[in-house]
Amino acid sequence: MLITIKNVLSKAQVAAARKMLLDADWTDGNVTAGYQSAKAKQNLQLPENSATARELGDVILAALAQSNRFMSAALPLKIFPPLFNCYQGGQSFGTHVDNAIRQVPGTPVKVRTDISMTLFLSEPEEYDGGELTIEDTYGTHSVKLGAGDMVLYPSTSLHRVTPVTRGRRLASFFWLQSMISSDEKRALLFDMDMAIQSLRESLDDSQEIVQLTGVYHNLIRQWAQT
């Protein structure tokens, strides 16, 4: 399931984040790459332990906590702290799959990567290339969103970032472990929740809506891993 979420960050938040990132000290992106990914990865990355990464990561997580669409699509259990990268001067990330398990640095916490996320911090017209290309059973999808918008997709997907041939592509990327490990089950729950919310907007609560809501939560009880 590939889901986009508009305006996770406001334009003011994006502007503040960009200023902090452009003033930050960057390092080689291979610091967080696995063996296979390291062969394909060419970019810059903000050190995970930098004050800028922690501060901006907290802003992003606070914004996501207020997003009903994110909560419905992800059903998060554990979230890996947001990381930040930069592509420029022809840099790219070849086709790869994300590591299955990520350990939060400095802690014993391990996160199974069910969902991968990219939050764009540069506007599409500011750079050429840099599309996030995701492969799934329905084909290949090219994603290049506005600054402040985010895409979620299964971490099992093969994906790549095409070369940035003009300008600079700034983004945050991170992963989460969902209460529902199955992408197919998450998709069913998301569709049901979106339908229930839509019904609530157009109709007063009825017995049927209450029953559907009960089915939704009972499916979560049956499928959730906590």
d(CA 2, CA 70): 12
Q: Is 159 annotated as a binding residue?
A: yes
Q: Considering only CA atoms, which of 69, 91, 90, 64 is closest in space to residue 79? A: 64
Could you give phi then psi for residue 38, rounded to 5 degrees? -60, -30
Q: Considering only CA atoms, which of 107, 85, 68, 87 is closest in space to residue 174? A: 85
d(CA 99, CA 177): 12
The answer to whether the Cα torsion of 37, 160, 96, 179 is positive or negative is positive
Q: Is 183 annotated as a binding residue?
A: no
Q: Is 169 annotated as a binding residue?
A: yes
Annotated binding site: 96, 98, 159, 169
Annotated binding site for Fe cation: 96, 98, 159
Annotated binding site for 2-oxoglutarate: 169
